[in-house]
Amino acid sequence: MSGTGAAIDTRALEAVLFVSDEPLTPAVLSQALEVDRRTVDDLCDRLQAELTERGSGLVLRNVAGGWRLFTDPETQPVVERFVLSSRQARMTKAALETLAIVAYKQPVTRHQVSAIRGVNADGVLRALVDRGLIEEAGRDEGPGRPLLYATTPMFLERLGLASLAALPSLAPLLDASAERTDAADLAADPDDGDTDGAPEDTDESEPDTPEG
Per-residue pLDDT band for 190 (boundaries 50, 70, 90) equals low
- Total-model pTM: 0.47
The rounded mean pLDDT for the chain is: 79
Distance CA 129, CA 107 (A): 14
Angle at 2 between CA 50 and CA 25, to 5 degrees: 55
Q: What are phi and psi of 76, to 5 degrees?
A: -55, -45
What are 107's strand-pairing partners? none
Do residues 100 and 112 make contact, with C-beta atoms less than 8 angstroms apart?
no
Amino acid code (one letter) for 190: P
Confidence at residue 82, expressed as pLDDT on a 0 to 100 scale: 76
Most confident of 78-87, 148-157, 200-209: 148-157
Do residues 125 and 134 make contact, with C-beta atoms less than 8 angstroms apart?
yes
User: Under CATH, what is the fold of the domain 3-75?
Assistant: Arc Repressor Mutant, subunit A (1.10.10)
* Upstream peptide bond of 107 is cis (omega within 30 degrees of 0): yes
Burial of 128 (0-12, 13-18, 19+ CB in 10 A): buried
Angle at 197 between CA 196 and CA 199, to 5 degrees: 120
pLDDT digits (tens, 9 = 90+) for 81-112: 776 665 455 678 888 999 999 999 999 999 99
Do residues 67 and 24 make contact, with C-beta atoms less than 8 angstroms apart?
yes
Percent of the chain with pLDDT over 70: 73
Burial of 82 (0-12, 13-18, 19+ CB in 10 A): exposed
The answer for residues whose C-beta is within 8 angstroms of residue 18's C-beta and 6 or more apart is 69
Do residues 122 and 129 make contact, with C-beta atoms less than 8 angstroms apart?
no
- For residue 151, pLDDT beyond 90: yes
**Class for domain 93-166, per CATH?**
mainly alpha
Domain ranges of the chain: 3-75, 93-166
Distance CA 212, CA 209 (A): 9
Give CA torsion, residues 148, 154, 160, 161, to 10 deg.
40
- For residue 157, pLDDT beyond 90: no
Confidence at residue 53, expressed as pLDDT on a 0 to 100 scale: 92
